A and B are shown apart, each in its own frame.
Chain A
Amino acid sequence: MIGWTEILQNIIYFVSLYYVVFWLIVLLEYEEPRSKRLQKHPPVTIIIPAYNEEENIIPTIDSVAALQYPPELIKVIVVDDGSKDRTYARAKEHLKSIRKKHPKITFQLLTQKNAGKHAAMNNALRYTHTPFFATLDADSFPYRDALKNIMAEFDDPKIAAVSPILKVYKPKNAIQTIQWLEYAVNHFYKSLISNVDAIHVLPGPLSVYRTAVVKKLGGFRDAHKTEDMEIAMRIQKADYKIRQCNNAFVTTKAPYTIKSLYRQRHRWNHGTFKNLIDYRKMMFSRKYGDFGLFQLPVILISGIMGISILGLILYDFFKSIKPTFKLIQLYNYNIISYLQHTEFNMIWLDLDLKSLVTFLGFFIITLIVLWLSLRLYREKYRTKITFSFILYIFFYYIFLAIVWIGVFKDVLLRKETGWKK
């Protein structure tokens, strides 16, 4: 007899397999895009919203000043969102010196009462008169050629926004290295969905927009503290295109502790879920092509599947160890005595082939995806990340499932989250 857990398991396996096959087809359908060359440099405004970023604001401004882009075509607007630390003072002081060093770049410093990141960006938008603008989180540092490469992607008037590839800035511990791997895989995935015009998020670090489109759409919204996702949804809804530039890299600081990582992911996933509810009419709608039919359901289902997989793993795990645990209990928890008395008599037929093949299948797919992701990242696998890699494969998705459980709990209890990382 097939029980409910097995029915659920089979559904999850089939859906997961379907996604993998779908993206594999997309991967094979599209040729690797050639690097585009920027013919004419359009003027760009770079908006840096900052809240309590006294440590990062100076290096972020410096990284913008170092961009390989005609300086007379760059305007930088730093917006202090009512920081409680010395962000404003430090930025003001630093702009004085940097203006001398880079006289052709226009710098502007704004300050406002704390109103959120979206309000800071809208404030800066009022002073933006260039055809394009970029947002840059105040803890992010673009590669020197990033902006130039992104601008080359705007070769179609329907393209309203282009996002770069993010890398975790100098990972220092396993938690940051896991995120480094995660970002690599996510951006590989994003490179695929970019091919079918289904990108659903424009991250803060150096996403570039057509100013007219964003102004026409009404600027940024609070959107449950995930304005980067909401603006992407609105752009998609208005039938514009969003692309990822695969040769533009930006490093960004990532949470260092598990607690801060949980908080960040909770905020992201909470906002994602709420935005999905707000834009539910787009889901499964053919009008929005692959974005509505495939990408939005994937985002929703991935959260539910994450929780289901966690539940199934824990259920199977406890079910399988229960008899052994009870036996060890009878040995008064003397594991050595238990091992001395137990004869392990296994034959190959004892293998649970279904679990083994499923595990190996997903493991091989993960390795292939990681290899493709590192290729996109232009990085090589280094043995020193092996520990983080193992944690990433075997435990990180369990962590994400726990985050989703927290999100669903908060949605049910109608709790809101704060915006700061």
Chain B
Amino acid sequence: MRKVNKRRYLLAFIISAAIFFIGFFFGFLMDLQRINYFQEVNDVNQINIRSLQLQSEWVKSSTGPNQCAASRVIFNKAIIELEQNRERLELYDQQSKVRSTDFEMLKRQYTLSQINFLIIAKNLKEFCPNSSDFVTVIYFYSDNAKCPECADQATVLNYYKTLLKENLLIFAIDEQLESQEPIIGILKQTYGVSSYPTLVVGDTVLNTYVDKEKMRSILCTDYNATYPELGCSMP
């Protein structure tokens, strides 16, 4: 029987476990940093929403082109950041292993911000039609098990977002948050959402997957101006 140095095996295990737990600890710290980042983002969103709501009220009471333009500048910036941060939040939520509850909470806050922005967008469209050539898309989605086509639908939307930038406003609503956030249920009822993906493009409700070509034709009819990127055929 040969001698086995048990101490070496044990020491290797202890050191490996320690390194591994340090890794988990850093992952935890990273999650905390990300949560802090989104809490700051949410604070900014709340200020933007408050600011835009005030401007919206002002625009409603005294319509004028200058006020509309001013609202649009803040709105454009905020809406682009909102979409970028939504994607980021989804990514962080997928990567997070230890703070998923916090990310759920952040997603709720985020959904509320989006709905706020949606209301502001509708107001802008109504009261500042000349400086609001954008189309709103409310995108109801679910997880892969419930909605295998949602990943492809997101890609189609992402494609048009990269083409049209601030002229296409996408509000992505995760139906899985419905149990925590009743407003999602109200929106679903309003638009008659029963399956996923469902898109509300402007006022048109589409309870099915919308491919690139179909989306192009819908968007082409919804814009006041023409966008060469869209490649709409002239009537």
Residues of B near A289 (CB, < 8 A) are 2-4
Cβ 8 A contact of B19, one of A17, A197, A286? A17
| C-alpha gap A91/B26 in the complex (Å) | 65
Q: In the complex, given contacts A323-B151, A354-B27, what are 4 additional A-B residue pairs having Cβ atoms less than 8 angstroms apart?
A: A289-B4, A342-B162, A343-B162, A354-B95
Which residue of the partner chain, among A18, A22, A327, A345, contacts B159 with CB atoms under 8 Å?
Answer: A327
Chain B nearest CB, measured from A204 CB (Å):
27
The answer to whether A350 and B12 touch across the interface, beta carbons within 8 angstroms, is no
In the complex, B16 has a CB within 8 A of chain A? yes
> Within the assembled complex, what's the spacing in Å between the Cα atoms of A14 and B24?
12
Contact yes or no, B20 A345, CB < 8 A: no
Q: How far is the CB of A60 from the nearest CB of chain B, in Å?
A: 37
Selected A-B contacts with CB under 8 Å, 24 pairs? A14-B16, A14-B20, A21-B15, A26-B8, A29-B8, A286-B1, A287-B2, A289-B4, A323-B154, A327-B158, A327-B159, A330-B155, A330-B159, A343-B162, A349-B30, A349-B33, A349-B37, A349-B92, A352-B95, A353-B26, A353-B27, A353-B30, A354-B27, A354-B95
Q: Could you say which residues of chain A place their CB within 8 Å of the CB of B91?
A: 350
Say yes or no: is B34 at the interface (Cβ < 8 Å to chain A): yes
| Chain A residues, Cβ within 8 Å of B88 | 347, 349-350
How far is B97's CA from A6's CA once the two chains are assembled, in angstroms? 10
Contact among B16, B30, B155 for A17, CB-based, below 8 A: B16
A326 contacts B155, C-beta separation under 8 Å: yes
- Main secondary structure on chain B at its contact with chain A? helix
- B84 on the interface (CB 8 Å rule)? yes
Question: With A26-B8, A342-B162 as given contacts, are A354 and B23 in contact (CB-CB < 8 Å)?
Answer: yes
Instruction: List which A2-55 residues lie within 8 A (CB) of chain B.
Output: 2, 6, 13-14, 17-18, 21-22, 25-26, 29
On whether the beta carbons of B4 and A286 are closer than 8 Å, the reply is: yes
User: Considering only CB atoms, which chain A residue lies closest to B161 in the complex?
Assistant: A341
Contacts of A21 in B (CB 8 A): 12, 15-16, 19
B216 CB, nearest partner CB in chain A, Å? 10
CB pair B97–A2 under 8 Å, yes or no, is yes
A291 to B4, CA, bound (A): 10
Give B15 Cβ to nearest chain A Cβ, in Å: 5
When chains A and B are docked, how far (Å) is the Cα of A291 from the Cα of B5? 12
Please measure, in the bound complex, the distance between the C-alpha atom of A17 and the C-alpha atom of B104, giving whole angstroms: 33
A341 contacts B16, C-beta separation under 8 Å: no
Across-interface contacts of B27 in A (CB, < 8 A): 353-354
* Chain A residues whose CB sits within 8 angstroms of the CB of B33 once the complex forms: 349
A342–B84 Cα distance when bound, in Å, is 12
Complex formed: what's the CA distance from A29 to B8 in Å? 10
Name the B residues within 8 Å of A327 (CB-CB). Answer: 155, 158-159, 162
Does A290 touch B at the CB level, under 8 Å? yes
Within 8 Å of chain B (Cβ to Cβ): is A293?
yes
A323 touches B155 (CB 8 A): yes
For B84, list chain A residues within 8 Å (CB): 345
Instruction: Determine if B102 is an interface residue (Cβ-Cβ < 8 Å).
Output: no
Binary per-residue interface labels of chain B (7-47) against chain A in the complex, 1 for a CB within 8 Å, 0 otherwise:
01101110110011001001100100110010000000000
Cβ contact within 8 Å between A25 and B159: no
Q: Which residue of A lies closest to B163 (CB)?
A: A341
Which residues of A are found within 8 Å of B162, using beta-carbon distances? Answer: 327, 338, 341-343
B3, B34, B100: the one contacting A349 at CB < 8 Å is B34
Query: What is the minimal beta-carbon distance from B44 to any residue of chain A, in angstroms?
Result: 14
User: Which residues of chain B come closer than 8 Å to A336, judged between CB atoms?
Assistant: none
A145 CB within 8 Å of chain B:
no
